[in-house]
Amino acid sequence: MTGKHAAKAWLGVCLVSLMTACSQGGGFSDLDKFMAETRAKPRGHVEPLPEFKAYEAFTYSAADRRSPFEPPIEVQLTMVDEKPVSNVEPDLDRPREVLENFDIKSLQMVGTLQGASGNLFALVEDSTGGIHRVQTGNYMGENYGRIVGISETRIELIEIVPNGQGGWVERPRSLSLLEEDAG
């Protein structure tokens, strides 16, 4: 045997004896003792979850009342005694036109036509899908709306509506051309 082999053999014997020395004895006694003490202690108690009340839906029933965030409106009752002076009233003897059977909100302007004499007609679609040709002076809508002007993109009307005090008042209204999506 050479010196190299003898040194390796000696190193191997030292390692084996060292490992044997470390593995002997009660190396786990302190761990066993700790585990036994932990098991002997009383176990913890987890409190039950708190009881929650069931959700009760709330219906807001004051929608028709004044908002609490707006100041109250003072009403002066002295004006009720005065009769409003107005000579505006609808012509009830006039025969009603077809478009007067529709609410103005259900009518839509869909185009225009120009006559041979240069006068402009508007095309109006009703809620049933019918197309009607109207000109200045025709009536449309349920509030006696008389057409006072037609342009390429809009119909101007004057409606006669009740003023709430037994009289009538004129109200301007317009219908704009319905824009089609190009997409």
Average pLDDT over residues 21-28: 63
Give yes or no for residue 109 having a pLDDT over 60. yes
Give me the pLDDT at residue 183, please.
Answer: 47
Q: Greater confidence, 60 or 181? A: 60
pLDDT, mean of residues 19-46: 78
> What is the average pLDDT score of the chain?
83
Taking the C-alpha atoms of residue 35 and residue 100, their distance in angstroms, rounded to an integer, is 95
**Mean pLDDT, rounded, for 47-57:** 86
Q: Is the dihedral of CA 172, 91, 161, 141 positive or negative?
A: negative
Amino acid, single-letter form, for residue 45: H
**Separation CA 33–CA 25 (nearest Å):** 15
Reported as a single tens digit per residue, the pLDDT across 61-87 is 777 777 778 887 777 665 555 555 667
- Predicted pLDDT at 135: 92
Q: Give per-residue pLDDT as tens, 144-164.
A: 999 999 999 999 999 999 888
Neighbours of 120 (CB within 10 A): 14
Alpha-carbon gap, residue 127 to 111, rounded angstroms = 16
Domains of the chain: 103-176 (2.30.30.830)
User: Which strand (E) or helix (H) includes residue 169?
Assistant: strand 168-176
d(CA 179, CA 181) in angstroms, rounded, equals: 7
Order the strands of the 145-150 sheet from edge to edge. 139-140, 145-150, 154-162, 168-176
Q: Could you tell me which of 116, 150, 157, 151 has the C-alpha nearest to residue 135? A: 150
Inform me whether the pLDDT recorded for 123 exceeds 60. Answer: yes
Contacts 24+ apart (CB under 8 A), 91-100: 91/144, 94/139, 96/139, 97/138, 97/139, 97/140, 98/132, 99/124, 99/126, 99/132, 99/134, 99/138, 99/139, 99/140, 99/141, 100/139, 100/140, 100/141, 100/142, 100/144, 100/145
